[in-house]
Amino acid sequence: MSPHQVLKKYWNYDAFRPGQEEIINAVMEGKDTLALLPTGGGKSICFQIPALALEGVTIVVSPLIALMKDQVRQLKDRGIVADALYSGMRRGDIDRILDNAVYGNTKLLYMSPERLLTDLARVRIGKMNLSLIAVDEAHCISQWGYDFRPPYLRIAELRELHPDVPIIAVTATATPEVVEDIQENLDFKKERLVFKKSFGRDNLAYVVRRPESKEKHLLEILKGVPGTSIVYVRSRGLTKQLALMLQRNGIAAASYHAGLEPDEKDRRQDAWIKGTLRVIVATNAFGMGIDKPDVRTVVHYGPPDSPEAYFQEAGRGGRDGEMSYGIMLYHPTDGIRLRQHWAQAFPEISEVKRAYRALGSYLQLAVGGGQGEAYDFDIVKFSQNFGFDVRQAYSALKAVERSGYILLTDAINQPARLQFIATKEQLYDYQLKHRAQDKLIKSILRTSHGAFLNPVQIKEGALANFLNLELADLQRVFRKMEAEGIIDYFPEKDLPQVVFVEERIDPDALRIDEKQYKFLRDRAFERIETMINYAEGQGTTCRSRTLLLYFGEPAVADCGICDGCRVRANSGNPVLTPKKVYGDILTRLEDDNPLTVEEAAGEYGAVRRKATTEVIQHLIREGLIVQEDGKLRKP
């Protein structure tokens, strides 16, 4: 099928969004492609459509397990064969999924970057009919980026296995240095496309408020701006506190964070998407992969630690093109908090080695072992056992991660599963001898197809309710059946994991590149200071322009709608937006008064001549005004 036919068949859209078709055509032509699209710009479509239009398998590399699982679920709902491989999965499941990609009809195989590095994966990938490599969250490959992940640096090794397969890299946040790094580290060929859609949003007003009471001001915002809202906060406890406060004030709100049960997360997210919940109060665990177009306000209850994070989160507002607001509530203590967190995030190297030594003891892992293995990891218990502050332990282990030895994952929910390993005859005999388990076995066989072939998911809570059992009693029955050789049983778990990308080494031999460590530390400090300066900035500076300049995009003019622009407009000094300049020039041209660019720009004063000239040149390039013989005229 052609890309248009794929779009219609699986998504039921008649046309692509601006820019998508150009990116997809480049991929279809075999060009390495970098697509920089703002949040909500439809990045996934840019690799999912070619994956379906091309013959063979597409590997999608993504660091976000929750997002991978969500995208696979959405693709399967559309009738597309997709799967995901990430740390912590059973060897049997990994084998089956890789075999399906080699011999079956898998179209998209999502993989976490460390999974690409295993010998097992490399051998199977070499056998695949690979059509495309897609790199999601591509900024993770750059040390200049705000979420650098060392395993990303080895993605280019796939080119050794499939040298002619094109790569598409997508991201919503990249500075000019990161853009160069992505292309270099993925070994882009000369025949390439770099597509960058403007990050500017003419319907999203950025605002900073410094109220005495953040709670009161949040209520004022939600009462003053009707419609759906996201409120981002820094801790799980605060999500609950603010959600309760909003509920007490008659606003339908719920909290959302990584610690919620998966079913509860889905319920709250669905209620918010459908509009029965007006406000989600969330940590940054919320928002990835969620496309709700009519979010009117995104409120940050304090600044995040980077402009990239802020830009991405605030950008979830107003995707329908209607007026929306990205509002930050700021108190001077927020700046102090950010600097303290930065200092804690880069502990002394001696402390990093101490945490690595303690990790080996905690997991009872010998030197030379563990490579490629994932272990459930309770950081609170770890910290208590070895005398760390939790934040101190997390920061030290993140430093080990940045050096490429381990990977720390968020909590990964793995539902309970079981597989019948007895034959059907043996199971029938077991049912005759154990009448108490007969109803349980029949329920599983009725609701779970293929339980004799592969492990199948079971909802233990619902099954326990149906059988009128306590959950703990049901789990005891499963463990007993496993001991008797009737089933393989894998209990539900919802814990973060630590993955050993490299084998465990002697802590004294741990190599922390001090130059790189200082570089990453300094870059993190620059991002925090940029965020604090943005929040504390006074006067009439355009906030949209400030953010765009950070990403290397010189704005043509001020946005005209942020708090800085509104202050200037109210002071009697008109804001220069393309819309205003265009209207003024058209009015003057209608009076049969031909103008040169210099004359038009001079109307706004010498101080603003350069900015005005840039706006006029932009209008000419867009074809809104024509320049002939040095004079401007209407098209």
Over range 225-250, report the average pLDDT: 95
Alpha helices in 458-577 (DSSP H): 460-466, 471-483, 514-536, 543-550, 563-570
DSSP state of 190: S
For residue 504, what pLDDT is reported?
94
Confidence band (pLDDT; 50, 70, 90) for 91?
confident
Structure tokens at 519: 């570089």
Closest CA to 287 of 110, 67, 140: 67
- CATH fold for the domain made of 204-330: Rossmann fold (3.40.50)
Is pLDDT above 80 for 578? no
Contacts of 500 (CB under 8 A, 6+ apart): 365, 370, 371, 372, 373, 375, 405, 406
Strands 374-376 and 497-500: antiparallel
* Residue 467 or 576, more confident: 467
Query: Chain centroid to CA 470: how far?
Result: 38
- The pTM of this model reads 0.78
pLDDT digits (tens, 9 = 90+) for 493-513: 767 889 898 899 999 999 888
Alpha helices in 297-414 (DSSP H): 307-314, 332-345, 349-363, 379-386, 390-402
Over range 154-168, report the average pLDDT: 94
* Residue 469 or 87, more confident: 469
Residue showing tokens 């604090």 = 532
Strands 406-408 and 412-414: unpaired
DSSP state of 7: I
Over range 296-312, report the average pLDDT: 94
Distance in angstroms (rounded) separating the CA atoms of residues 143 and 150: 9
DSSP state of 9: I
Over range 214-220, report the average pLDDT: 96
pLDDT above 90: percentage of residues in the chain: 54
pLDDT above 70: percentage of residues in the chain: 96
Is pLDDT above 90 for 264? no
Q: How far, CA to CA in Å, does 623 sit from each of 12, 315, 468?
A: 33, 28, 72
CATH of domain 338-412+496-524: 1.10.10.10
CB 279 within 8 A of CB 295: no
For residue 224, what pLDDT is reported?
93
Distance in angstroms (rounded) separating the CA atoms of residues 557 and 577: 5
pLDDT digits (tens, 9 = 90+) for 533-548: 999 986 678 899 899 8
Handedness of CA 472, 478, 481, 482 (dihedral sign): negative
Is pLDDT above 80 for 290? no
- CATH fold for the domain made of 3-196: Rossmann fold (3.40.50)
Residue showing tokens 């778990």 = 493
* Residue 266 or 165, more confident: 165
For residue 411, what pLDDT is reported?
64
pLDDT digits (tens, 9 = 90+) for 420-453: 999 999 999 999 999 888 999 998 988 887 888 8
Q: Phi and psi dihedrals of 103, rounded to 5?
A: -110, -15
CB 242 within 8 A of CB 362: no
Q: Which long-range contacts (CB under 8 A, 24 or more apart) does 477-484 make?
A: 477/437, 477/440, 478/418, 481/437, 484/430
Distance in angstroms (rounded) separating the CA atoms of residues 286 and 222: 19
pLDDT digits (tens, 9 = 90+) for 109-127: 999 988 887 888 999 999 9
For residue 574, what pLDDT is reported?
63
Alpha helices in 186-305 (DSSP H): 214-224, 236-248, 262-274
For residue 573, what pLDDT is reported?
63
Residues 93, 94, 97, 98: what is their CA dihedral angle, to the nearest 10 degrees? -150
